[in-house]
Amino acid sequence: MSTETTQRITCISDTHGRHAKIGTLKECDILIHAGDVTYDGGSESLKEFLVWFESQPAKHKCFVAGNHDWVFEHAPKAARRLIKKYAPSVTYLEDDWARFDGIRVYGSPVQPEFLNWAFNRKRGADIKKHWDRIQRDTDILVTHGPAFGVLDTCEGRRGENLGCEELAKAIDRIKPKVHCFGHIHTGYGILEKNGTISVNASLLNEEYAMVHDPVYITL
């Protein structure tokens, strides 16, 4: 990493339109939302989120869409216009990257097929081509879903691992300092493995009640 200063990172995910319950987050250098900013996927819900997200005391703010955030898949140009209008300081990442004070952040909304939701991709070659785009010097990787075997167990499906096998291989290859994600609400937590800090930052439980806290880390 090219930066020499300590960076305060705040990770949240899966707020599903309940962001107002969070209020104002702690001041930080980079605020990350790993998707499912809405529940119904509509443009009005996105607008409400963007107004809140823009107001947060973070030097840099970025997010990816999630499987509920249909507006980004059905009307991507309209969604980006809303960002420009209501959250001009926010960076949206869709299989793309940004650099914040020397820290390279790569983000993608895709996840393995999970019911009939937005940004579904078939396991194997179909989703692998998305992970092949991740640059090797990525410091923070933001995806909506987890890698296989890492904070990806779903209690509602008898503890089944729902993460992506191809994403796990990409992380082993790239070795980002941080992998921030959500999607599997019951996987909330932090796990450090092979030099990567994995953060499942889902704030809601499976009943969509806000029971978890934002995750604060430093780099």
| pLDDT tens readout for residues 1-43 | 444 579 999 999 999 999 999 999 999 999 999 999 999 999 9
Q: Supply the pLDDT for residue 98.
A: 98
Note whether 138 and 174 are within 8 A (CB).
yes
* Predicted pLDDT at 65: 98
Task: Report the C-alpha gap between 199 and 27 in whole angstroms.
Answer: 19
* Interval 104-161: pLDDT, tens: 999 999 999 978 899 999 999 999 999 999 999 999 999 999 999 999 998 766 678 9
Please tell me the pTM assigned to this model: 0.96
Place of tokens 């990172």: 9
CA–CA dist 208, 62 (Å, integer): 23
Please list the alpha-helical segments (H only) found in the chain: 43-54, 71-74, 76-86, 125-131, 165-174
Architecture field, domain 8-218: 4-Layer Sandwich (3.60)
